Amino acid sequence: MRLTKQTNYAIRILMYCAANDGKLSQIPEIATAYNLSEAFLFKILKPIVKHGFAESIRGRNGGIRLAKPASDIRLSDVVRITEDNFAMADCFESDGTDCPLIDHCGLNSALREALNAFFAVLDKYTIQDIASSNSRIDELLGLHLLEGYEGPGMKAVQ
């Protein structure tokens, strides 16, 4: 049981943008910070732009930035759009099982309760919370090396 790489990096891209303090972030910079290919980053960006968490600005000085305050983006919101499947068991899917217990199964309801508890925790945390929990995030992501860096971020985005 694990989250997809897409989900993990979607959250990390949003953390990067939050730490970059409202300024436009360049794809090559993010790719370098996380040691990922730009092609993979573009793939991950699609759903988070489509669902209004980030916006992409075209042009020579373009880049991406958060489309809403980091404190308004809950981890659960991001995980829900980037994970393609929360079917804990075949019987979560309407046509996915031959199990004779379907419809009245104690396992199914226990797993649903466990999944709800998982999301209840992710509901509590925003991109702002997890990015600001590390006071050295600017330095660790290399943001302090970028042109126009104006000191530790995490203010203008709020």
**Interacting residues toward its own copies by CB under 8 A:** 1-5, 8, 11-12, 15, 33-35, 75, 83, 85-90, 98-101, 104-107, 109-111, 113-115, 117-122, 124-125, 129-134, 136-137, 140-142
Distance between CA atoms of residues 146 and 103, nearest Å:
56
Taking the least distance from each CB to its own copies, the nearer of 58 and 103 is 103
Nearest distance from residue 50's CB to its own copies, in Å?
A: 20
Angle between helices 38-50 and 5-19 (to 10 degrees): 80
Which three-class secondary structure state does DSSP give residue 100?
A: coil
Taking the least distance from each CB to its own copies, the nearer of 57 and 113 is 113
Distance between CA atoms of residues 32 and 39, nearest Å:
12
Q: Are 88 and 24 in contact (CB under 8 A)?
A: no
Taking the least distance from each CB to its own copies, the nearer of 57 and 120 is 120
Nearest distance from residue 87's CB to its own copies, in Å?
A: 5
Taking the least distance from each CB to its own copies, the nearer of 12 and 53 is 12
Nearest distance from residue 63's CB to its own copies, in Å?
A: 19
Nearest distance from residue 120's CB to its own copies, in Å?
A: 7
Sequence-distant (≥ 6) Cβ neighbours of residue 78 within 8 angstroms: 7, 10, 11, 14, 48, 53, 127
Taking the least distance from each CB to its own copies, the nearer of 57 and 145 is 145
Task: Report the chain's terminal Cα–Cα distance, integer Å.
Answer: 33
Nearest distance from residue 53's CB to its own copies, in Å?
A: 15
What the block records as the tokens of 129 is 């919370």
